[in-house]
Amino acid sequence: MGSDARHGRLVELLGPVVAAEGLDLEDVTITPAGRRRLVRVVVDRDGGVSLDDVADVSQSVSKRLDEADVLGGNPYVLEVTSPGVDRPLTEPRHWRRAHGRLVKAELRDGTAVEGRVTGADDSGVELDGERRVPYGDLARGRVQVEFNRPGAGLDDGPDEDVDDLEDIDDVDDEG
């Protein structure tokens, strides 16, 4: 089975499992890791993903992968995560979840705009409360890293979400 076919089969197999946990399946990748394979499942939802959410969906996904034997019985390591700050914004739900964040958007005409997402609905995104960009005009966008983001506190309390932890990991990995 080719990698595109395997990817499609995994998305088809795991999409309902992830949806049953109240999450969206954003991506599935398989990467060789020695004698094993790394199966990375990226999930998200409005309001973010907690560590408990990741633990719950990890158990469900692992069980489904073992039942379906889609990996041919080969050993694998499962990693369930949420999208990091560097994920491209390509779907309306991505833009909605970026509310309040500074983004750089590439437009289909080759230009780019930057602004803070102040609204997003089924037809487009609003930047800085004044510029509306229809999704049909957007190629993709990316959240810009801000170390002193307005409205973001250093102590968000005990319910850190996975996105916050990934941001920290990304900084640590670079240095």
59 pLDDT above the threshold of 80: yes
Task: Provide, rounded to the nearest whole percent, the portion of the chain with pLDDT above 90.
Answer: 55
Q: What is the pLDDT of residue 64?
A: 93
Residues in contact with 99: Cβ distance below 8 Å, sequence separation at least 6, in sequence order: 117, 118, 119, 120
Nearest alpha carbon to residue 26 among 12, 15, 38, 39: 15
117, β-bridge pairs: 127
Mean pLDDT of the chain: 83
* Domains of the chain, earliest start first: 3-81 (3.30.300.70), 88-143 (2.30.30.100)
